[in-house]
C-alpha cells in the first residue's frame, strides 16, 4: 500500500542563514513520502540560490516565487496550497524545525483515524544556541474555539497536520488581507466548520521545534 504524500509548505523571505537547517530537518525524516514547497516572498539575499541548490539534489523540494503583487506569508501559503499534491499538509515556518520522527508519527495517527480532518501535535521551542526548552507549547483548553476567540492561542502553526481536501473544500486558504495573526484566523475558521473532526494530542511526543530569536532582525516573516 502506497504511503500518503505529505506536503510541507514553507513561506520564505530573506532566510539564507536559516533555511538550510529547516530543509535538512525535513530531509532527515524517517518517513520518506513528502514534498516541500518553498514559496519565496521576494528575498533580496541569497535565499533563492540556497533553496535552488536543494531542488537540484532532491526532486521532492520545489521552489516557487510569489507571482502576484500582494505579498506576505498568507499569500505564499496559498500558493503552496494551490500547488500541493499531498494527501496531508503541514505549514512550516522557514526558521523552525521538524524532529526526525515528526512525519512518521503524524501520518501513522491520521491514517489510523481517517475520520479526522486535522490532528494537532506537541511542539517545543529552542534558542539561538540550539538549547531545547523542556516545555510543551501545545496547551490544553476546555474549548479550543473559545480559546481562539479569546486570543488565548493553544497551538502554533506547525502543530497541526491537515487533510488537504478539508482545507480546499472548507477553508480555501489563508486570508491574505491579514498582515499578522493569519494562522489564528485560519484555525478559528477551521474550528467553525460544522462537523469538523480534529484531535489535540497532548500526550504525544513533541515532534517539531519553534525557534526563539534574540536578534529581532530575523523576524522578517512568520
What distance in Å separates the CA atoms of residue 208 and residue 67, rounded to the nearest whole number?
Answer: 30
The model's pTM is 0.93
Q: Could you tell me the maximum CA-CA distance found in the chain, to the nearest angstrom?
A: 47
Q: What is the pLDDT of residue 217?
A: 46
Strand, helix or coil at 41? coil
Residue range 162-207, pLDDT digits in tens:
999 999 999 999 998 877 788 999 999 999 999 999 999 999 999 9
DSSP 170: I
What distance in Å separates the CA atoms of residue 34 and residue 12, rounded to the nearest whole number?
Answer: 19
Amino acid at each position: 500500500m502506497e504511503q500518503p504524500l505529505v506536503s510541507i509548505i514553507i513561506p520564505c523571505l530573506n532566510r539564507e542563514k536559516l533555511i538550510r537547517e529547516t530543509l535538512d530537518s525535513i530531509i532527515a525524516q524517517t518517513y520518506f513520502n513528502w514534498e516541500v514547497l518553498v514559496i519565496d516572498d521576494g528575498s533580496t539575499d541569497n535565499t533563492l540560490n540556497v533553496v535552488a541548490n536543494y531542488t537540484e539534489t532532491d526532486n521532492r523540494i520545489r521552489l516557487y516565487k510569489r507571482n502576484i503583487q500582494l505579498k506576505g506569508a498568507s499569500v505564499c501559503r496559498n500558493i503552496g496550497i494551490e500547488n500541493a499534491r499531498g494527501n496531508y499538509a503541514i505549514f512550516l515556518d522557514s526558521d523552525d524545525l521538524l524532529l526526525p520522527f515528526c512525519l512518521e508519527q503524524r501520518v501513522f495517527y491520521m491514517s489510523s483515524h481517517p475520520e479526522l480532518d486535522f490532528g494537532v501535535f506537541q511542539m517545543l521551542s529552542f534558542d539561538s544556541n540550539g538549547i531545547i526548552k523542556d516545555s510543551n507549547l501545545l496547551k490544553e483548553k476546555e474549548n479550543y474555539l473559545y480559546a481562539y476567540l479569546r486570543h488565548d492561542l493553544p497551538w502554533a502553526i506547525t502543530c497541526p497536520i491537515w487533510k488537504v481536501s478539508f482545507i480546499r473544500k472548507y477553508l480555501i486558504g489563508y486570508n491574505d488581507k491579514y498582515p499578522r495573526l493569519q494562522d489564528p484566523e485560519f484555525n478559528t475558521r477551521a474550528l467553525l466548520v460544522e462537523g469538523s473532526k480534529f484531535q489535540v494530542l497532548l500526550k504525544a511526543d513533541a515532534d517539531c521545534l519553534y525557534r526563539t530569536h534574540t536578534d529581532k532582525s530575523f523576524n522578517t516573516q512568520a
